[in-house]
Amino acid sequence: MAGEKDYVYSALDILKMLPHRFPFLLVDRVDSIERPNTDTKVGRKIRAVKNVTINEPFFPGHFPHRPVMPGVLQIEAMAQVAALACVDLDGPKMDVAIAGVDGARFRRPVVPGDTLEISAEVIKDRSSMLVLKCEARVRGQVACEAELIAKMFPLEAH
């Protein structure tokens, strides 16, 4: 249908939910979110996209002869997607911080022109501590995967 959006959150929505800004905002769009109607966040799933362009500020130094997205930034992109799974656009303002990274694996290089398709699922909910299984794919191939431990806390009004 004309005018019907095929995403859940646009870049402008994401700016309202995450504190990150250029050059550190690493999520372009959220395609889907599942939020089971339960007392916990377990089972929440999200799928989002990061378009990787040659204009990324890290490519000139990593590496000039063969540009590759740093693994730590792939983890950060997954963490930002994980945070979006934990907060609600219309809910209380929360901040989410990485408290741990377990089992991180890098399976293929991420290069200019790739689209990272990032998914995250809440697998444990212990009040303000959440564990999320995260994965980033490029054209169906796993590029990066990890379990992230996230700490949530109310965002204080300034």
CA angle 93, 77, 158 (to 5 degrees): 25
For residue 137, list its beta bridge partners: 117, 142
Q: Residue 81: phi, psi to the nearest 5?
A: -65, -40
Structure tokens at 18: 């995450």
Do residues 95 and 155 make contact, with C-beta atoms less than 8 angstroms apart? yes
Of 20, 62, 65, 158, which one is the catalytic site residue?
A: 62
Q: Strands of 115-126's sheet, edge to edge?
A: 29-34, 45-51, 115-126, 129-138, 141-154, 94-106
Pairing of strands 115-126, 45-51: antiparallel
Instruction: Mark whether 158 is an active-site residue.
Output: no
Q: Would you please indicate which residues are annotated as catalytic (active-site) residues?
A: 62
